[in-house]
Amino acid sequence: MWFKNLSIFRLTEAFTLTPDELEAKLQALAFRPTGPHEEFSFGWTPPLAKASNPLVHSSNGFMMLCGKKEEKVLPTAVVNEMVQEKISDAEEKQGHKLSKKERSAIKDELIFELLPKAFTFSRKTYAYIDPKGGWLIVDAASAKSAEDLLSHLRKCLGSLPAVPLSTVENPSLVMTGWLLNDQAPEDIVIEDECELRSPGEEGGIIRCKRHDLAVPEIKNHLDSGKLVIKLAVKWADRLSFVMDEHLAIKRVRFLDLIQDQVAEVDAESDAERFDVDFSIMSLELASFLPRLLELFGGENPAS
């Protein structure tokens, strides 16, 4: 289990629940399939696939959990066409145009009829809690997905004091300085991808992929006032990723130094391999996250 994205939250109070206590609280919102007339359902499911496994997978003090969301699929174009047909039929029978309220009621009734017949799809979102380090990490590519998982976790726990990571120095300005001055920290290697944006809400955006970022063309954009809002980097030959202006980390790869560690551990089952991967990944990120804070001047005390 290797996270591909890191939405990073700081726990602002000590997380004191044991794995068993957390398990008991998650059971209140364990996943169940979507009902006939429900558009979606969300619940907690075992990180290890079998339903008989616990909802909390614990290793070395880290606790992994997994949220599952199941949704009904009703193609918008099909629904709109069927709604329009029903509206046209009703208007023809009644001899007048339907009101907005009547049109909305027809759409609601149609969706209610179609939902039991709709196909479903599901997706899982993994996260883990590091009580010792004070972190909650969500493997989510969007802030909305991460916040959705936190919202459901708060429902189970009653409260969860967790806030997005915030640093003293502006990440965009720091990354711009690395690129403009060609002076990244020793353990940071700038790779071949970035996104630049002009100041202001309507500022133009330049995207570069598979591009030498040290060329004059890039520096000209920076000299004209554009700022780095995304940058691909490699850290200490251990991780590579794309980092944005909000410290969201995407497309994470655990490099050879980490994969060699994994290869050295024999695992006789999928469950053992899952546990090995989670242990190595979480310990690696526990080393990386404090360094991430240092790169941007430390944690913002006001966060």
Task: Please list, in sequence order, all residues whose beta carbon lies within 8 angstroms of the beta carbon of residue 264, skipping any fewer than 6 positions away.
Answer: none
Predicted local confidence at residue 187, as pLDDT:
97
> Is 303 among the domain residues?
no
- Residues 277-299 have a mean pLDDT of 97
Question: Are 122 and 92 in the same domain?
Answer: no
Question: Are 230 and 89 in the same domain?
Answer: no
Tell me the CB-side half-sphere exposure of residue 93, using CA atoms within 13 A.
Answer: 6
Q: pLDDT digit string (tens) for 80-123?
A: 999 899 899 988 898 889 999 999 999 999 888 888 889 999 99
SS3 295: helix
Question: Are 138 and 233 in the same domain?
Answer: no
Domain boundary pick from 107, 134, 164: 164
Question: Are 62 and 197 in the same domain?
Answer: no
pLDDT tier for residue 203 given thresholds of 50, 70 and 90: confident
> Is 302 among the domain residues?
no
> Is 138 among the domain residues?
yes
Residues in the chain: 303
Q: Looking at the 3D structure of the chain, how many domains does it have?
A: 3
Question: Are 159 and 218 in the same domain?
Answer: no
- Using the Cα atoms of residue 95, residue 101, residue 103 and residue 106 in order, give the sign of their dihedral: negative
- Residues 189-196 have a mean pLDDT of 97
> Is 260 among the domain residues?
yes
- Residues 151-157 have a mean pLDDT of 97
- Residues 130-151 have a mean pLDDT of 97
Predicted local confidence at residue 302, as pLDDT:
75
Question: Are 180 and 90 in the same domain?
Answer: no
pLDDT tier for residue 303 given thresholds of 50, 70 and 90: low
> Is 241 among the domain residues?
yes
SS3 294: helix
> Is 240 among the domain residues?
yes
pLDDT tier for residue 1 given thresholds of 50, 70 and 90: confident
Q: pLDDT digit string (tens) for 238-261?
A: 999 999 999 999 999 999 999 999
Residue with tokens 């883990």: 128
Distance of CA 149 to the CA centre of its chain: 9
Question: Are 208 and 255 in the same domain?
Answer: yes
Question: Are 255 and 190 in the same domain?
Answer: yes
Question: Are 245 and 289 in the same domain?
Answer: yes
Question: Are 194 and 252 in the same domain?
Answer: yes
| Distance, CA of 18 to CA of 152 (rounded, Å) | 19
Terminal CA-CA length for the chain? 30
Q: pTM of this prediction?
A: 0.89
> Is 1 among the domain residues?
no
Alpha helical stretches, state H, 158-269: 171-181, 216-223, 256-263
User: How big is the CA angle at 7 (ends 271 and 198), to the nearest 5 degrees?
Assistant: 145
Contacts by residues 19-27 (CB-CB < 8 Å, ≥ 24 positions apart): 19/54, 19/56, 19/58, 19/63, 20/56, 22/56, 22/63, 22/65, 22/129, 23/54, 23/55, 23/56, 25/156, 25/157, 26/55, 26/56, 26/65, 26/156, 27/55
Could you tell me if residue 297 is left (phi over 0), alpha (psi between -120 and 50 degrees) or otherwise beta? left
- Name the β-bridge partners of 228: 196
**Domain span at 112:** 76-116
The one-character DSSP state at 27 is G
Distance of CA 19 to the CA centre of its chain: 23
Question: Are 216 and 204 in the same domain?
Answer: yes
Question: Are 151 and 54 in the same domain?
Answer: yes
Predicted local confidence at residue 49, as pLDDT:
80
For the ranges 44-58, 183-197, 243-257, the lowest mean pLDDT is seen at 44-58
For the ranges 25-39, 174-188, 190-204, the lowest mean pLDDT is seen at 190-204
Predicted local confidence at residue 16, as pLDDT:
97
Predicted local confidence at residue 202, as pLDDT:
74
Which of the two residues, 268 and 303, has the higher pLDDT score? 268
Predicted local confidence at residue 96, as pLDDT:
87
> Is 300 among the domain residues?
no
